[in-house]
Amino acid sequence: MDFPDSNFLTWSTFFNNTFRKFCLMDHVDYTMLKLDDADWTQTDYCIVYWLHSSVSREILNIIIKLQDTTAYSSRMAITGLFLDNSMQQAIYAQQELHSLYQGELSITEYCGRLKRFADTLRNVDAPLAD
């Protein structure tokens, strides 16, 4: 799925840092889930709420489930939406990057577009070399 002007990298970085800062990695690492612990489950529902409230309604409608929702499953569903078809996304972003020229764009707009292409390529595991 293609979401124009995606902020996936920002979103992902923010949540990865938040999970580490508050020692919540056990909620997003499949090997550490504690589904039989009531306190852990309550915290997990709070994280699900954070994740669901941080995405657009369009994305939420795609990923939401009525049951068996965990922070891990929600995060994987959101991530999957942005990383599906990563090879096609990489090819498209590389073509767009190579055809980009400044023209009438301000330097800020031009650099912003370059950064978006670089971020897209990094998101799909095809980072630009320096």
For residue 7, is pLDDT > 90?
A: no
Domain ranges (residues) in the chain: 8-83, 86-123
C-beta of residue 126 within 8 angstroms of C-beta of residue 90: yes
pTM value is 0.67
Structure tokens that stand for 79 in this block: 């991530």
Give CA–CA dist 66/119, Å, rounded. Answer: 33
In this structure, which amino acid lies at residue 107? I
CB burial class (10 A; 0-12, 13-18, 19+) of residue 86?
Answer: middle
Q: Which residue has the higher pLDDT, 68 or 102?
A: 102
For residue 118, the model assigns a pLDDT of 84
Give CA–CA dist 67/129, Å, rounded. Answer: 43
For residue 2, is pLDDT > 80?
A: no
What percentage of the chain exceeds 70 in pLDDT? Answer: 93
For residue 123, is pLDDT > 80?
A: no
pLDDT, tens digit, 9 for 90 and up, residues 24-35 = 999 998 889 898
Distances (CA, A) of 117 to 16, 39, 49, 64, 121: 22, 42, 30, 29, 6
